[in-house]
Amino acid sequence: MENEQFDFIGWATMNDIKCSDGRTIRHNAFADNDGQTVPLVWNHKHDSPEDVLGHALLRNHDKGVKAYCKFNDTEQGQVSKLLVQHGDVNALSIYANGLKQDKQKNVMHGIIREVSLVLAGANPGAVIQTVLSHSDIDTSDKDIPKLKEDELIISLNSIGCKMHLAHADDEDDEDEEEEESVDEEESESDEDEDEDEDAPNEKKSTENKKKESKKEKEDDEVAHSEDKATNDGKDDKAMAEQKEKTVKDVFDEFTDEQKNVVYFMIGEALKNAGADDEDKGGNGNMKHNIFEQDEQQMDYLSHDDMDKIFADAKRLGSLKEAVEANLDGGVLAHSIDTTGMDTPTGRQTYGFNDASMLFPEAKTIGNTPDWISRNMDWVGKVLGGVHRTPFSRIKSIFANITEPEARAKGYIKGNEKKEQVFTTLKRSTTPQTIYKKQKLDKDDINDITDFDVVAWIRAEMRVMLNEEIARAILIGDGRDVDSDDKIQEANVRPIITDVPLFNIKTAVNVPNGADDDVKAKATIRAAIKARKDYKGSGNPTLFTSEEWLTNMLLLEDGIGHKLYRTEAELATALRVKEIVTVEPMDGYNITISEKDYPLIGVIVNLEDYNVGADKGGAISMFDDFDIDYNQYKYLIETRISGALIKPFSAITLYLNEADPT
């Protein structure tokens, strides 16, 4: 194989030059590619076979990696050849993966997968150095194999054999040509003493090759290894290790031309075997490998193997790809069966498909999943503020002494004294069960090992039960009256809808279309004025929505100063102890005389609201196991009653927008 079979030579990449992507290739970074043949493509395109222009033989040098390139006879290959010959394209680029680089982006190791013709390369030194014509014979570079046009060396399991292709030459002519080849190599070696800086190593390599060639003739053996200079004098142990090479190892060392011959011979062998089978009318096996030698018998190929290869060739469109896909160790084997495995879709143009499969698993910040829930701060304020009794049936008895008849009277001598008259009132409240139920499969409990899922579920059940009780106390659960899940208002009486004896309903009157400032000022005014009717205990709390609190805090005077800088200042103005926002009050409406009004809030001291529960009605957690369904079931429940127990102890504020009269 002389220089004339290559169309051009160039630097695929050069060492110690900073590329446009910031990387710097270091010495021997691609040493593993030395002697390998890779595809020559256009501009790193891999989408179709037409993108392959030819192939490139790679040689590692101290300066970098040289590429000895040959164009295919395809239309694209010949067009690219003309572009190179005319100097229109003079830059090369590589695609490599398996990179190992330091923090300074110095590439220390990698594997070149293809060489590309490009308009402008990333590596400034990656240029086409020499364009060869078919009449050029340049033997200045010892990296180019010196084999004759009709000669091919195939190395199988470290047993070498020189094979001459059938060109109607007899054996004598072939022997003479072998001798001439050796003589030519010796003369060429003498002429190449004045090489470039790569020549000393290359010359040494050529001299070793000559010695090896002579030794092959004398011993009638050919032994190939990665470093022929160390072949002489090898002990038996080293030779034994060398013979352990698999067919795949040897096949990977072949040049592109050698591999093409292998493909051709396999095809011819298959045709011959197929003809024999048809004649015999049976299914036979090719018992000997086509490369079988006297020194060693190789593994044989069955017809099943060959059928698989050619079936893959039809599918892949290439006998070469089919052979390489089925090559495994010393025999041709079927490809790995990936049935049932998840494989990535689409085609990756660099690296490997679906790199995300190798990413580390995502980790949770906490041990358990976080809840997405409403603001629960108000729940503790409600449940912590109510009055509690150890019994659930509550009876409230009142005597109304506010009527005129109950007043003390003056006496005039001689007149009859009149008895005092007042009304007695009574209200009873009975309990209702409130619960939350869950279930988990036992298998799921066993499989979830990162945290205690049972404790996690139980915590959620308690939180949601508490919220439901607090909601029922303040505004009601909001479910329809006929719902089976409704917490009945006769058992847990909502404060905002309680009867007038206990709840003072106060309208905040504003004109239609009033802005937020007008509504906020009217609310403050109405709340302060309603305090004259309040008969509850101590200093109450205002429970309202975030929207109404914001509107009141944004109030300003005539020169832009805020009227209330903090919630505490606003609470003082409203004559309440504190202001607590309740998320379920956002957008909530209250029904009065069959008409809905937007709820603003409720002013109440929860000491005046009693929650009663018998000894067995306290909040309890139960669990059970269902053998039939292999499930754990969990229940949390309580049985309580709730109601205001002091008259005029709550003030409900609602918005009334009306046209001015």
Q: Which two tokens stand for residue 594?
A: 């069959």
- Read off the DSSP letter of residue 404: G
- The mean pLDDT of 387-395, rounded to a whole number, is 89
pTM over 0.85: no
pLDDT in tens, 317-341: 666 666 655 554 333 433 455 566 6
pLDDT band at 118 (very low <50, low <70, confident <90, very high): confident
pLDDT at position 580 is 96
Task: List C-alpha distances in Å: 21 to 82, 297, 404.
Answer: 29, 51, 97
- Nearest one of 2, 37, 49, 4 to 260, comparing CA atoms: 37
pLDDT at position 273 is 55
Domain assignments of the chain as residue spans, ordered by start? 3-131, 151-245, 256-332, 383-661
CATH class of 3-131: alpha beta
Most confident of 157-171, 201-215, 263-277: 263-277
pLDDT band at 125 (very low <50, low <70, confident <90, very high): low
- The mean pLDDT of 391-406, rounded to a whole number, is 77
């050069």: which residue's tokens? 14
- The mean pLDDT of 97-119, rounded to a whole number, is 85
pLDDT at position 430 is 92
Q: Is the pLDDT of residue 137 over 70?
A: no
Strand, coil or helix: what is 209? helix
Least confident range from 1-5, 8-12, 44-48: namely 1-5
pLDDT at position 251 is 73
Which residue has better confidence, 639 or 309? 639
d(CA 127, CA 19): 13
pLDDT band at 450 (very low <50, low <70, confident <90, very high): confident
Contact 543/601 with Cβ under 8 angstroms?
Answer: yes
pLDDT at position 626 is 92
Most confident of 41-45, 314-318, 358-362: 41-45
Residue 73 neighbours by CB distance under 10 Å = 8
Strand partners of residue 70: 55
pLDDT at position 527 is 95
Q: Which two tokens stand for residue 100?
A: 């190992």
Strand partners of residue 55: 39, 70
d(CA 109, CA 257): 28
- Read off the DSSP letter of residue 273: H
Give me the half-sphere count of Cα atoms (radius 13 Å) on the Cβ side of residue 512: 4
pLDDT at position 401 is 72
Which residue has better confidence, 418 or 539? 539
The DSSP element (H or E) to which 310 belongs, if any, is: helix 303-316
Contact 84/7 with Cβ under 8 angstroms?
Answer: yes
CATH class of 383-661: alpha beta
Q: Which two tokens stand for residue 650?
A: 């709550």
Q: Is the pLDDT of residue 213 over 70?
A: no
Which residue has better confidence, 87 or 548? 548
Least confident range from 166-180, 441-455, 559-573: namely 166-180
d(CA 518, CA 551): 10
Q: Is the pLDDT of residue 136 over 60?
A: no
pLDDT in tens, 479-508: 998 899 999 999 999 999 999 999 999 999
Q: Is the pLDDT of residue 14 over 50?
A: yes
Strand, coil or helix: what is 626? strand
Residue 389 neighbours by CB distance under 10 Å = 14
pLDDT in tens, 65-82: 999 999 999 988 898 898
